[in-house]
Amino acid sequence: MTAHLGFLIVSAVFLWRAALPPAVLALSLLILAGVTGLQLRHSWPRPPGVRPAYAGWTLPLQLSLALAPLFFPERPYPQLIGFAAGSLLILWTRWAAFPAVGAVLAATAVAMALRGVAPPENLYWTFNALAIAVMFHGLALHTGMVAQVRQARLALAGIALERERRRIARDVHDLLGYSLSAIVVKGELAVRVPERSAEQLADITRIAERAIADVAAIPRDSGQTLSLATELASAREVLSTAGAGVHADPIVALPSDVDALLATVLREAVTNVLRHSRARLCRIELTSQDATARLRITNDGVAGTDAASPGQGLRNLTQRVSAHGGTLRASRVPGGYELLVLQPTGFGRDADGVETVART
């Protein structure tokens, strides 16, 4: 808008200093205002591929107004040709606009030559029109790019918001599912065995306090990192309370992020055992070899035909493991149900042993 206003003022001052007859000056100022206004309309930022309304009328009108001063009685005035040529570059495709602009500039040069304009001056005004056209085309491209960047920012903000919502939903499911299942198991035991109710209620209070801390940390994504050793001890306690035996391998040393990831997997696996099975035995096998950690969790309590159908928890775990370059498989096996995770611990954290290409 500043550029358009500047050209409007400079052109108006030029016309005023030309000492034109009042009628010609008034007509020239009207033409100048119309051409500049239409140029601003054609240059206004729009979504890609969208033309201004009634461009089929406004563009020919601007071109006619810009060419009209070439035929003023006293002398030709070619200053407005650049505006119309700029609109052609803005509104038409380059393959149509370039020949059209060339034709307009050539016609302008011919008209000025026929009006007796000297060749040097003729050349000056022709290239002046070309420079103005290119400048306004560049301004339109620039403002259009700014508008697109603004839209891209809004889109990225929406994507970030959706990702944060999914992260919170995933964390709520993964963190609270286990705690609530453990509370249910211990509550049922307190009802069945009243003499142990005080012990179970104390455990319920401890689990609930931990769940409250997890919920408070979810919006900030700053919860305490899960520990595989801690989760294994908790799994032994909760599964034993539910009446299942637990056979587990000793914890092996793993990188902290891999340890936390497998701890999350173990927590969700125990939650599924508590919710969806009547397991009497649960095996937790953990090994680390050839820069790959292998976590295998099996139980013998599969019930029903849809036990292997993936739920939200397994989808969350698959996403977490895949994001770290690992693989997760959950399926029925003879005599039970198996959850198997292969998680790289080194060499680029690539499950197939091929180092990933760095992203830029």
Q: What ranges do the domains of the chain cover?
A: 2-153, 226-360
Where would I find the H helices in the chain?
2-17, 22-43, 55-67, 81-91, 94-114, 119-192, 197-217, 228-241, 256-276, 312-323
* Half-sphere exposure of residue 217: CA atoms within 13 angstroms, side-chain side: 15
Q: Is the pLDDT of residue 350 over 60?
A: no
Mean pLDDT of 34-62: 88
Q: Is the pLDDT of residue 34 over 80?
A: yes
- 169 versus 294: which is more confidently predicted? 294
For 11, other C-beta atoms within 10 Å of its C-beta total 21
User: 225 burial class (0-12, 13-18, 19+ CB within 10 angstroms)?
Assistant: exposed
**Percentage of the chain surpassing pLDDT 70?**
90
Distance of alpha carbon 41 from alpha carbon 58, whole angstroms: 9
Distance of alpha carbon 4 from alpha carbon 311, whole angstroms: 60
Query: Among all chains, which residue has been given the structure tokens 């012990």?
Result: 199
Distance of alpha carbon 18 from alpha carbon 133, whole angstroms: 24
Q: Looking at domain 226-360, which CATH architecture does it have?
A: 2-Layer Sandwich (3.30)
29 three-state secondary structure: helix
- pLDDT of 196: 77
- pLDDT of 222: 53
Mean pLDDT of 37-59: 86
The pLDDT confidence band at residue 354, using thresholds 50, 70 and 90, is: very low
Q: Is the pLDDT of residue 310 over 70?
A: no
- pLDDT of 359: 43
- pLDDT of 226: 76
Q: Is the pLDDT of residue 29 over 50?
A: yes
Mean pLDDT of 238-257: 85
Q: Is the pLDDT of residue 307 over 80?
A: no
Q: Is the pLDDT of residue 349 over 80?
A: no
Q: Is the pLDDT of residue 190 over 90?
A: no
Distance of alpha carbon 25 from alpha carbon 29, whole angstroms: 6
- pLDDT of 206: 83
Distance of alpha carbon 158 from alpha carbon 154, whole angstroms: 6
132-182 pLDDT, tens per residue?
999 999 988 888 888 888 888 989 998 988 888 887 777 777 667 777 878
When the pLDDT of each residue in the chain is averaged and rounded to a whole number, the result is: 83
- pLDDT of 306: 46
Q: Which of 18-32, 207-221, 261-275 has the lowest average pLDDT? A: 207-221
**pTM of the full predicted structure?**
0.52
Determine how β-strand 336-344 pairs with β-strand 327-333: antiparallel
Mean pLDDT of 15-23: 84
Q: Is the pLDDT of residue 223 over 60?
A: no
The pLDDT confidence band at residue 98, using thresholds 50, 70 and 90, is: very high
Nearest 5°: the CA angle 67, 73, 76 is: 40
